[in-house]
Amino acid sequence: MQFLNQIPVGEAIHVSRGQSLLAAGGVGPVWRVTQGVFKLERQGQDGQILVQLAQAGDLIGVESLCAEPYAFTAVALVAAQALPHAVSQDLDRYTTMTQGFMQQQRQTCDMHRLRTGSIVQRLAYLLTVLGKQADGRVLAVQRKELPTLKEMARVVDSTFETVCRELNTLLPERKQPRTRTASVWATGPAFAMAL
């Protein structure tokens, strides 16, 4: 990954699922998520602790406006994209800090919804978060675009098996049309009629 201080403002960075955009303790610009979802984590006694999710439109690393190092590590929960956010004047700084403050309230409510209620409700809300676009639209998420079942279980505070079972009720897998093989034709009625 490139060093953040070498990334020109205005150039979007594509981050694959499971890859880090920035690390806690590092320094660099404020980032705006333009696509996908990042999980914001901090180191705990037993490993990384999920603190919040940053979705399309959210800012990451707002603490850098206060000349502080990044408080969290930002890891792509799904394939994501972020753009360094230019802050050149005091008004830009104030506006960005205000946006960051308001988003914190929403992210706190998001985490509450992702951690309370039935597992089906939690998963349904996670699918909404994953499908949110920067313009506010929510698109349907395809199964192949989802985080791993282990990551989804971690986000909704459940077990892998429960998430797998409940996800099948929310997003049933489409059955592929059957194709007939040569052996089916050779033993079927059509073959007998051809003799």
85-120 residue pLDDT tens:
877 778 888 888 888 889 999 999 999 999 999 999
Angle 68-100-145 (CA atoms, 0-180°, nearest 5)? 105
The rounded mean pLDDT for the chain is: 84
Q: Is the model's pLDDT at 81 over the cut of 70?
A: yes
- The single-letter code of the amino acid at 106 is R
- Domains of the chain and CATH, by start: 4-170 (2.60.120.10)
* Residue 29 confidence class, pLDDT cut points 50, 70, 90: very high
**Among 11-15, 20-24, 88-92, 94-98, where is mean pLDDT lowest?**
88-92
Position 179 scores a pLDDT of 52
